[in-house]
Amino acid sequence: MIKKWSKIVVNIVYGCCIIAIILLLIQIFMFTSFKIPSDSMEPSLLAGDYIWVNKCSKGARLFNVLDAIDKKPVTIHRMPGWRSFKRNDILVFNLPYPDRWDSITFDVMKYYVKRCVALPGDTFEIRNGRYHVRNCKDILGNLSSQEYLLSLLESGRAKEQGLVTRCYPYSGLLGWNVRDFGPLYIPAKGDTIFMTPKTKLVYRNLIEWEQKTKLQLRGDTVLLGDSAIWSYCFRENYYFVAGDKVLNSRDSRYWGLLPEPFIVGKAIRIWKSVDWDTNEIRWDRILKKVE
């Protein structure tokens, strides 16, 4: 009798271990959960939404998690996937600027969620507050929110709403702001650009992150470390991301471009939603598709 019960217990423990391993593998390679912490993606996502994130469509990331937690340099590899990210996908990613706005750093514990509005190889600009990609006629992001931002700017009420109008790369040389920004070319892996004082200003953070070396300007000559460079070939793909609630979103307008290795995956569905004011479940949002 004792042997029989011992065998049952062993089988139960064995089964639980197998289930735990399967769930862990699903979390690592296929899907993970993410909680929306703010209103920056309203109305698409609300604070208190819990979403499933598809990791495997573009390919799950592999890196040394323990080194990342200790904030040591890590090399991020991506497994093969079956689709690329698209414009208007809502992406979950590690914020490239967790500590300071002039240096890209990988912080595995700090996540953001924003909408992709420009892809590698796109030329992106904001005109009268509205997002545009050259040769693309799609509506990008939350158009009504962009139009509301424009109305605030034109009425002179932007300051009372706490809107920060200056934006990346915060230079009088370009004079970009949240109403009129760009045009900005979004680098794709393998793209080569000519290095000028302007391109040094726009792409400095990306190049320094890829090369782990400082970029400087001596007259009109760009120096990478101690060496003069006249062109640069990018090693990674980059994206321009923006929050749907444009008045309250710290996104690419303010900190620049998102490196592809920092992207966890695409948000696909809300599996739980809790109203933080009342602590009640928002049943109408359960299993709602993220669009």
Name residues whose C-beta falls within 8 Å of residue 250's C-beta, 6 or more positions apart in sequence.
40, 243
Question: Which entry of 44, 55, 58, 114 is annotated as an active-site residue?
Answer: 114
DSSP secondary structure letters along 176-236: -BSSSEEEEE---TT-EEE--HHHHHHHHHHHHHHHTS-EEEETTEEEETTEEESEEE-SS
Residue 40 is among the residues annotated as catalytic for this protein = yes
Residue 289 is among the residues annotated as catalytic for this protein = no
Question: Which entry of 40, 44, 252, 273 is annotated as an active-site residue?
Answer: 40
CA distances from 163 to 2, 145, 224, 248, 253 (A): 71, 13, 36, 8, 12
Contact by Cβ (8 Å): 281, 272: yes
Q: What are phi and psi of 154, to 5 degrees?
A: -70, -30
Structure tokens at 62: 């592999």
Catalytic residue set: 40, 114
